[in-house]
Amino acid sequence: MWALADKGLPLHGFGVKTRGLESIAGAIASADSMAWSYRARRDTPLPGCRHQRCSNCIKYAVRWRDRLISQVHPQLRLNLIGAPS
Q: How far apart are CA 57 and CA 83, in angstroms?
A: 10
Structural domains in the chain (count): 1
Indicate whether 85 belongs to any domain: no
DSSP 8-state class, residue 52: S
Indicate whether 62 belongs to any domain: yes
In 3D space, the residue among 19, 4, 7, 25 whose CA is nearest the CA of residue 80 turns out to be 25
- The whole-number pLDDT of residue 77 equals 52
- The whole-number pLDDT of residue 71 equals 80
Q: DSSP for 53-77, please give it.
A: --TT-HHHHHHHHHHHHHHH-TT--
Indicate whether 15 belongs to any domain: yes
Indicate whether 48 belongs to any domain: yes
- The whole-number pLDDT of residue 8 equals 93
User: 40: domain range?
Assistant: 2-80
Q: What is the pLDDT of residues 1-52, one digit of tens each?
A: 899 999 999 999 888 888 888 888 888 888 888 888 999 999 999 999 999 9
Q: SS3 of 8, please?
A: coil
Indicate whether 64 belongs to any domain: yes
Indicate whether 63 belongs to any domain: yes
